[in-house]
Structure 1
Amino acid sequence: MNDEVYYDSHFNANEWFVIAMIVFGLLTIVILPKKFTPVQTLFTLLIGIVFGLIFDHTIGLPPFDLYDVGDDSNYHLFDIFSYAMYAPFGYLFIYLYKWLGLKGYYIIPYIVIWSLLSVGIEWLSLLVGVFHYKNGYRLMFSFPIYLFLQSIHYLLFQTLLVNKSSVNENKNT
């Protein structure tokens, strides 16, 4: 196995990929009909960024140091933008769940599909140089992480925002 990491130092495919993901994601959000309160919208946008930061700073830095983000192993200003590309995914994950009206066990295949989609996007990110794996990390290791994060995302949304809003509505009647 070759764990040698190749970096670049120019503004090229990895930066354009991040910009395209942010622009495409935000345009999609703007175009879609609004389904959420401002608090729900903010939550769904920020949760993706928060999860990205937590995992990048947990397994992407020493002592684990399993991958780097961007053009080298140090963080740069543009690497901060790479976290913004996670925001639309958090929003769209919950938006489509609500639009489809999923209930009960149907959320399980939905989370599995989104985890596979996430691995696919990560694979593209790997190809263009957004991520650089090292110390034995492999793409397949990301799948259970996505399963976990999207399950937590769903549970947090349901517990903090959906159930709370229905309790508040009952108090007002």
Structure 2
Amino acid sequence: MGAVIYDQHFNSNELYVIVMMTVGFTIYRLLPRTLSPLQTAFTMLISVISGLIFDHTIAIPPFDLYDIGDNSSYEVFDFISYLMYAPYGYLYIYGFERFRISGIVTIGYMLAWASIALLFEWLGVKSGVYHYKHGYYILYSIPIYLVVLSVQLSAYRAAFSNHRWQKN
């Protein structure tokens, strides 16, 4: 089966990615530095990597639940679009650290961020970034976001926990 072409022009889907990256990185630059440069790089990198892993897990065969961008095959801009995850992953951990989220509040915090991610995905669908296939529905993304947020927070805690460096 050949590639499905949704679009061949620079328009709303590319503009959406550029705006999301610009807004995200602008907010990052305006916030006071709470995380170290190593924590910042780690958080941004794990955000991009987890986006790539989870998107490629469900967006390619055998699942093939949606396409990204102008057509069903990957283009250079599709890979650039993964950079938009970096500042938002940073903001997720930044808020967690800045507001000292702990205990049961962590669940509410993760649900709030899953809701934000769902809103961004919905805007992405409206802008033509995501094209659902095979009966995929936006609400199916909720557990995926919860897993991604859990993995990101767990990896951050494992890498930067104060208790990690203490000898028993």
Q: Shorter-chain TM-score: what band?
A: over 0.9
- Whole-angstrom CA distance in 1 between matches of 2:60 and 2:70: 15
Query: Unaligned stretches of 5+ in structure 1?
Result: none
- Whole-angstrom CA distance in 1 between matches of 2:85 and 2:142: 16
Moved over 6 A (4+): none
Q: Percent identity?
A: 46
- Whole-angstrom CA distance in 1 between matches of 2:22 and 2:69: 18
Indicate the SS of the match to 1:68: strand
- Whole-angstrom CA distance in 2 between matches of 1:162 and 1:41: 15
Aligned length: 164
- Whole-angstrom CA distance in 1 between matches of 2:119 and 2:133: 19
* CA-CA distance at 1:57 after TM superposition: 1.2
- Whole-angstrom CA distance in 2 between matches of 1:128 and 1:144: 23
- Whole-angstrom CA distance in 2 between matches of 1:97 and 1:144: 20
What's the TM-score once normalised by structure 1's chain length? 0.90
For residues 41-85 of structure 1, give each alpha carbon's deviation from its aligned partner in whole angstroms, at most 9, with x where no partner exists: 011111111111101211100111000000000111111111000
Which residue does the alignment assign to 2:61?
A: 62
What's the TM-score once normalised by structure 2's chain length? 0.92
- Whole-angstrom CA distance in 1 between matches of 2:18 and 2:89: 17
**Aligned partners of 2:5 and 2:72 also within 8 Å:** no
Does residue 155 (structure 1) correspond to residue 154 (structure 2)? The answer is: yes
Does residue 39 (structure 1) correspond to residue 38 (structure 2)? The answer is: yes
- 125-134 vs 49-58, which moves further: 49-58
* CA-CA distance at 1:94 after TM superposition: 0.4
- Whole-angstrom CA distance in 1 between matches of 2:97 and 2:143: 23
Indicate the SS of the match to 1:85: helix
- 124-133 vs 47-56, which moves further: 47-56
* CA-CA distance at 1:6 after TM superposition: 7.4
User: Cα RMSD (Å) of the superposition?
Assistant: 1.5
- Whole-angstrom CA distance in 2 between matches of 1:84 and 1:133: 21
Does residue 8 (structure 1) correspond to residue 7 (structure 2)? The answer is: yes
